[in-house]
Structure 1
Amino acid sequence: MSNIEVAPPPSPYGASTLTRVALIGAALVFALAVSALAGARYGALLLIGLGFGATLEGLRFGFAGPWRRMIVDRNPDGLLGHLLSIGLVALVAFPLLATHGQELIGAHAPIGFAMVGGAFVFGLSMQLVMGCGSGTLVNAGSGNPIGLLALPFFAIGSFLGAFNLIWWTNLGALPVIALDGTDGLILTLAGLAAVAALALWLAPPEHRRIQRRYVIAAVLLAGLAVLNLIVAGQPWGVVYGLGLWVAKGATSVGLPTEASAFWSLPPNQDRIAESLLTDVTSLTNLGIIAGAFLITAWRGGFAQKLPSYPAKAWASAIVAGLALGYSSRIAFGCNVGAFFSGISTGSLHGWAWFAAAFAGSAVGVKLRPKLGLGG
């Protein structure tokens, strides 16, 4: 079932001009409504999320697909785009964190047994559904049936992973180690350059380049990520917001979250009680879904027939969705929160996450044919 990773082709004519105007108007009204209800800062975060979703969907710039191409075809173009974008963010984030440490925080987390194992499972699972954290949001927004099915189970898995997070971290972890200052920035850029050089060395001559659209996407994502850091006060993330949605749902039906060492923490209880419109991660997540929806509708992509998948593929999407959510929570993030934001703000756990998740992806690629998901 190789077509699981390819979005249905858009209408050759795209949406009508009236529809496109209406889509832009609806996005602006959505952002203005959030600004009116919660404040201009939160309206701005929604617009940043819309930008993330529109860029990822509009330029077909995800994480699972490029990693798969590197593993299967030794084609590093998408991975080079990731490294470029991370490096651009680091160039701005390191000085910002050094001079505004009271207002801004980095995506810093400890390296531990659960973190490494969780990253490995996440890398494996994202190849099964061809979507990471942001990719699952984009796939759902663009109408991909596997993405639509995986997203709620991803959220449930994130909630459950957070429920047990303290237990997992108690298995053993190093102190948080973060690079900072000019030396930290130089080491980070050197590490990114070394990975890029290795990827190019492993690639055949015809693949030793990067597509223009990936360069454009890398620059746009870097700009949006820096804006997110400044406006939200923290780096771009995905996983916490998804778990929070389930935590709020559980509380609304009378299920206690106080039994969890994580969800019972006062800041988390406050977020459960407050509106989603004031949670920065939830807003950008909603924006990603809306941005992907806007681009797909703009192209007329919803006019296509839904593909049919074997039952084994649907079951795999459910299990992989749960695994994505759970593993990313105990690994302190997904491709966005750990790999992208972790490395770009100096956290060594981002590098450990990258190595473990890439190894897991290699296993996931081999599992796909056995689960009816194509080669």
Structure 2
Amino acid sequence: MRAPLALTIAALFGWLLWSVSARQALLLLVGVGLGWGLAAARFGFTTGWRMLVEQRDPAGVYGQLVLLALLAALSMPMLGHFPETHAALGPLSVSLLVGAFVFGLCMQIADGCGSGTLYKAGLGVPLNMAILPMFAIGSFLGSAQLNDWLALGALEPVGLVDRLGAGPALGATLIALAVAAAGVAGWTGKGLRGMPRRWFWGALVLALFAALNLFVAGQPWGVVYGFGLWAAKAATALGLFDPTQNAFWSDPGHAQRLHQTLLLDVTSITNIGILAGALWVAPKRPQNARPLTGTQWLVGLAAGLLMGYSSRLAFGCNVGAMVSGISTGSLHGWIWVPMAFLGTLVGLRVRRHFKF
């Protein structure tokens, strides 16, 4: 299995290097590294939150805090010294509050956020494989209606690196993360000692590859935009959608990506790499093939659709809003987390009700 996959990745890398650009070829490998890190470490953002709530096990959340600290330490100096790099900024809006809450709810039902859906689909998990296209459709629908949501109320994005400078922004971020870790330790009564190593090395791998993404692409790691672009291209090709009549997709930058090959889109190429990186791990980790009922399938697919829709309203998922947002100093990332966590508390009740 691995030999054909390695040849396929190498062939795509060579073709991108020759026919597209060195940047896109490198980003393919960055995506492979991210997918490998997610799948090999079983670094689940959704699972980490569920472990904290249901078992008072903070290991997953500690892993995420370590990831945020490492990535912020790598990303903020880049943002401060290289003007061609950009933070993952999102406006402070009604759509952010609603979208983050709904996303947190739905990701627990779907058993995966944006990156989780990708790498579990790569591992061959049936529900996540079916949710992937639903996520893409939802993300497209959310983007098409985003301006209507922003009209309900929105403030300009706030970037800590721009406001404070890279050093003070990093210091403030690390202090905030330390306070969050202390709060988790106080509530669970458990510290970092005894934490499974996979959360540490998973955080290290993801931080390194996410920082490479920022350095090579000039923008932070994201997942959701690529999904929405895939569905938007399909809807346009089928004559179901006129992008010129939509505020989001008629924007020059989005319109250009809509008419270019997907291989020129930064997020799409890393998403493809994540699938390949997870597939590399798949033979080593057989999945639980417990069959789902028809009701569970319907609820799971509906959650996937809403997850895609809400992630666009919230300007990212656990990756784009939380990981990339917080690590590059966007205030919207700090608002996204508590709203998504509140949604998770409701989502876990729904998950138990339907016996997922």
TM-score by length of 1: 0.91
CA distance in 2, matches of 1:223, 1:207: 21
Q: Aligned to 2:122, which of 141, 165, 169?
A: 141
**How far 1:206 sits from its partner (Å)?**
8.2
Contact 2:62–2:192 under 8 Å retained in 1 = no
Secondary structure at the residue paired with 1:258?
Answer: helix
Secondary structure at the residue paired with 1:177?
Answer: coil
CA distance in 2, matches of 1:322, 1:49: 24
**How far 1:105 sits from its partner (Å)?**
0.4
Give 1:41-60 correspondences, 5 Å limit: 41-60=23-42
Structure 1: any 5+ residue segments left out of the alignment?
1-18
Give 1:125-274 correspondences, 5 Å limit: 125-180=106-161, 181=165, 182-205=167-190, 209-255=194-240, 256-274=242-260
Query: Once the two structures are superposed, what CA deviation does each residue of 1:8-59 show, in whole Å capped at 9, x if it has no partner?
Result: xxxxxxxxxxx43333333222222222221111011011001111110111
Who is 2:43 aligned against?
61
CA distance in 2, matches of 1:133, 1:372: 22
Instruction: Give yes or no for the alignment of 1:348 onto 2:356.
Output: no
Aligned residue type for 1:283: I
Aligned residue type for 2:125: N
**How far 1:94 sits from its partner (Å)?**
1.1
CA distance in 1, matches of 2:7, 2:95: 45
Query: Once the two structures are superposed, what CA deviation does each residue of 1:192-246 show, in whole Å capped at 9, x if it has no partner?
Result: 1111111111113488642211100101100001100011110000000000001
CA distance in 2, matches of 1:59, 1:189: 24
CA distance in 2, matches of 1:46, 1:148: 21
Aligned residue type for 1:50: V
Aligned residue type for 2:343: G
CA distance in 1, matches of 2:225, 2:147: 15
Aligned residue type for 1:128: I
Aligned residue type for 1:84: V
Contact 1:76–1:208 under 8 Å retained in 2 = no
**How far 1:88 sits from its partner (Å)?**
0.9
Who is 2:311 aligned against?
328
Structure 2: any 5+ residue segments left out of the alignment?
none
Aligned residue type for 1:131: G
Contact 1:154–1:324 under 8 Å retained in 2 = yes
Q: CA RMSD in A?
A: 1.5
Q: Aligned to 1:307, which of 290, 308, 313?
A: 290
Who is 2:15 aligned against?
33
**CA 1:305–1:121 in structure 2 vs 1: closer, same or farther (change >3 Å)?**
closer
Contact 1:58–1:295 under 8 Å retained in 2 = yes
CA distance in 2, matches of 1:172, 1:289: 36
Who is 1:283 aligned against?
269
**CA 1:80–1:205 in structure 2 vs 1: closer, same or farther (change >3 Å)?**
closer
**How far 1:86 sits from its partner (Å)?**
1.0
CA distance in 1, matches of 2:288, 2:328: 42
Secondary structure at the residue paired with 2:104?
Answer: helix
CA distance in 2, matches of 1:29, 1:224: 21
Who is 1:365 aligned against?
348
**How far 1:372 sits from its partner (Å)?**
3.2
**CA 1:105–1:207 in structure 2 vs 1: closer, same or farther (change >3 Å)?**
closer
**CA 1:305–1:214 in structure 2 vs 1: closer, same or farther (change >3 Å)?**
closer
Secondary structure at the residue paired with 1:210?
Answer: coil
CA distance in 2, matches of 1:248, 1:112: 27
CA distance in 2, matches of 1:199, 1:129: 25
**How far 1:294 sits from its partner (Å)?**
1.4
CA distance in 1, matches of 2:59, 2:289: 30
Contact 1:134–1:336 under 8 Å retained in 2 = yes
**How far 1:114 sits from its partner (Å)?**
1.2
**CA 1:249–1:307 in structure 2 vs 1: closer, same or farther (change >3 Å)?**
same
Aligned residue type for 2:317: C
Aligned residue type for 1:327: S
TM-score by length of 2: 0.95
Contact 1:75–1:207 under 8 Å retained in 2 = no
Secondary structure at the residue paired with 1:86?
Answer: helix
Equivalent pairs counted in the alignment come to 351
Identity of aligned residues (%): 45
